[in-house]
Chains A and B, each alone.
Chain A
């Protein structure tokens, strides 16, 4: 009799754990996973646009850190991230890297092809 009670107790416990497990999974499912790794990308865009914002070197350093973090976590960089990197490279006069970044935006987001090609064509001189 005692054994039966213990067994049903265990069964109840398993049931409870399962319920919590399902609840936990459902909880995760309710908070939708983001498609992209944003981190401080928006803050960096604001930094770029603000006239009294930080310099391009600082912005590049922070964006590089964010890109590494995304890569380490296997997360996708958002639309425009690589293109924004290209913009910073252009400000620093690093045209080769700017071009690579534009190509990378195009490879990751084929929707950007027309605009990226427009920019790449314009860069055959030096600036945008």
Chain B
């Protein structure tokens, strides 16, 4: 029994070292590869946390991963204002708008529905942890078909356990030092990391878009 566990541990360590998340079954990309969206509309995320800023904390960070993946992303501030001008002030109402209406106004090929399930710092006796968890679903606005779904978490506790470092740790460090200059609250840093993990091309992640040199190579 022990031997089996240690062998399993060795295998999972090897997999982790290779940087592949081999545990999840491969995502079915049939629809994504057939529809190949060019532009994405990210709606204001649904907020299931007590933190009021969670929705906009995440929305501020979703353009980078999708744009760097090669997509055009509908400008988020104007998008938010357009909904407000039309009397839609909360994400739940906005998520109910029909795909045909979204396509008509924004002209995007696909819509990204995001839900924030964790956002903020929990204070425990031993150590506090700041954590952001997000889920996303990408739906084609032309066919109504779901192209992709996934989730991601970023937490301050990752930095403390140095042996989990590696590339991901470095990524967190890099983003932390980059953002700390301009933002004072901690959660926004992890909102950035979680958004990047959620919407960047990776195993089981979104595919590269047409503006990327890696388009159609995945």
B-binding residues in A (CB < 8 A): 34-36, 38, 40-43, 45-46, 48-50, 78-80, 83-84, 86-87, 105, 109, 111-115, 118-119, 127-128
Main secondary structure of the interface of A (DSSP, over half): helix
Docked-complex contact A118 and B67, CB < 8 angstroms: no
Docked-complex contact A49 and B77, CB < 8 angstroms: yes
How far is B80's CA from A45's CA once the two chains are assembled, in angstroms?
Answer: 11
Chain B residues in 8 Å Cβ range of A128: 78, 81-82, 85
How far is B67's CA from A48's CA once the two chains are assembled, in angstroms?
Answer: 20
Docked-complex contact A42 and B75, CB < 8 angstroms: no
B53 in contact (CB, < 8 A): yes
B interface residues, how many (CB within 8 angstroms): 37
Name which of B57, B59, B63, B71 has the most chain A CB atoms within 10 A of its CB. B63
Nearest-neighbor residue (CB-CB) of A109 within chain B: B72
Known A46-B56, A49-B60; judge A79-B77 contact (CB<8 A): no
Docked-complex contact B39 and A45, CB < 8 angstroms: no
Docked-complex contact A35 and B212, CB < 8 angstroms: yes
Chain A residues in 8 Å Cβ range of B212: 35
Docked-complex contact B63 and A115, CB < 8 angstroms: no
Known A46-B183, A80-B63; judge A87-B39 contact (CB<8 A): no
Docked-complex contact A50 and B53, CB < 8 angstroms: yes
Q: Which of B60, B64, B74, B82 contacts A112 (CB 8 A)?
A: B74
Chain A residues in 8 Å Cβ range of B95: none
Nearest-neighbor residue (CB-CB) of B105 within chain A: A118
Q: 26 A-B Cβ contacts within 8 A?
A: A35-B67, A35-B212, A45-B76, A46-B56, A49-B77, A50-B53, A78-B63, A78-B67, A79-B72, A79-B73, A79-B75, A80-B67, A80-B75, A80-B76, A84-B78, A87-B77, A111-B38, A111-B72, A112-B72, A112-B74, A114-B105, A115-B74, A115-B75, A115-B106, A115-B108, A128-B78
